[in-house]
Structure formats: structure tokens, C-alpha cells
Amino acid sequence: FRNHPFRVVDDEKMEETVKSVKQYGILMPGIVRPLDTGGYEVIAGHRRWRACELAGLKEMPVLVRNMTDEEATVIMVDTNIQREDILPSEKAKAYKMKYEAMKHQGSKGEKFTADLVGEAAGESGRTVQRYIRLTELIAELLDAVDHKVISMKVGEKLSYLSVEEQGWVWDCVKT
């Protein structure tokens, strides 16, 4: 999926998923949509797809759905946001993508849309807005939030600084 904000990592959890796929197969089909150029785009099930590859499978059961970019974004975010190992940067990018998609679909008002985005993940609209602010951080500061070098609250405050000012802060933090 274009700009997919979630990592698909070959770690211990992936090894467990591969073992499960080998033993039981895919218990929950992925969701794909047809591409105009032919083939399909995975909307939900990126980790399952990777596990199938690692298990030596050439196919994975999927549901094929026609959907707009906005609908695909909402489904992609909603099916991933509940995972427990999500980095703040992934959540921030995912919330922003869903927020923009819902705004484009016609949801009115920033607060209203943020509340709707948070609803599916059990978060308040304000929390969603805080995460979205993190997308305004330079990469180094966002990485520092991911690695708990700086708190999310501090990251949110720093996001209001210019790129140049954030660079100065990073120069101080890294030393």
C-alpha cells in the first residue's frame, strides 16, 4: 500500500507468524483491491503476506474489494492501529493519513474528524491531534520520540518550531 506507515519486520513475532502459517495456514484473509494496471494492492494483511513468503507459499487467501484511496487508507489504518508494537511515528503517520482521508470523504470540522479517527483506536480526538503534530518533526527528533529519548509531549511541543530550530534542538539533544 502506497505510503504504508507500519513496519513489516522479520523479528521474533514474524517467526511466530510464519510457524502459525505453516501449521494452520492463513486463518484471516487479507484485503486487496484491483489495480488499474493489473494485479492487486494489499490493503490489509501485509504481515500475513510476508509470513506467507517466508513460509514458502506463493498465494494467500484474500478478499478482493473495489475501494477509493480514502476507503483503502481508513481500512489499512483501522486494521493495524490496534497492534501493540506500534511506534509513535507509525501511529502519527497512520492517524494523519486516516484524518486526511476522512476529511476528503466529507467529514466536517477538524475536531470532529480527529474524534472519529480516534474512535476506532479508543483514543480521544485530542490524542489523535497530538500524534498528528509529531509528523511535523524532523526525522531525527521523530526517531528520538520513537526511542524514548524525548517524550511524546516534548515532541509535540517541538513540532511547532521551524525545521531550522528543530535542527538546533537536535544538535543539543544528540550531544
CATH number at residue 77: 3.90.1530.30
In the numeric block, which cell numbers belong to residue 128? 489523535
Domain range spanning residue 90? 12-135
pLDDT at 72: 92
Minimal CA–CA distance to 75: which of 67, 86, 83? 67
The pLDDT profile of the chain, 175 residues, written as one tens digit per residue, is 677 777 777 888 889 999 999 999 999 999 999 999 999 999 999 989 999 999 999 999 999 999 999 899 889 888 888 776 789 999 999 999 888 888 877 655 555 788 888 887 888 989 999 999 999 999 999 999 999 999 999 999 999 999 999 999 999 988 7
- Pair 155, 137: CB distance under 8 Å: yes
* Beta strands 30-34 and 62-64, pairing class: parallel
Q: Is 145 part of a structural domain of the chain?
A: no
Alpha-carbon distance 9 to 90, whole Å? 13
Minimal CA–CA distance to 133: which of 153, 106, 107, 115? 153
Q: Return the SS3 of 62.
A: strand
In the numeric block, which cell numbers belong to residue 81? 492501529
Q: Is 151 part of a structural domain of the chain?
A: no
Q: Is 55 part of a structural domain of the chain?
A: yes
Q: Is 61 part of a structural domain of the chain?
A: yes
Q: Is 165 part of a structural domain of the chain?
A: no
Q: Return the SS3 of 44.
A: strand
In the numeric block, which cell numbers belong to residue 45? 494483511
- Where is 42: in which H helix or E strand? strand 40-44
Residue length of the chain? 175
**Total domains present in the chain:** 1
CA dihedral 74, 77, 79, 85 (to 10 degrees): -170
Q: Is 27 part of a structural domain of the chain?
A: yes
Q: Is 127 part of a structural domain of the chain?
A: yes
Q: Is 101 part of a structural domain of the chain?
A: yes
- Pair 101, 119: CB distance under 8 Å: no
pLDDT at 111: 52
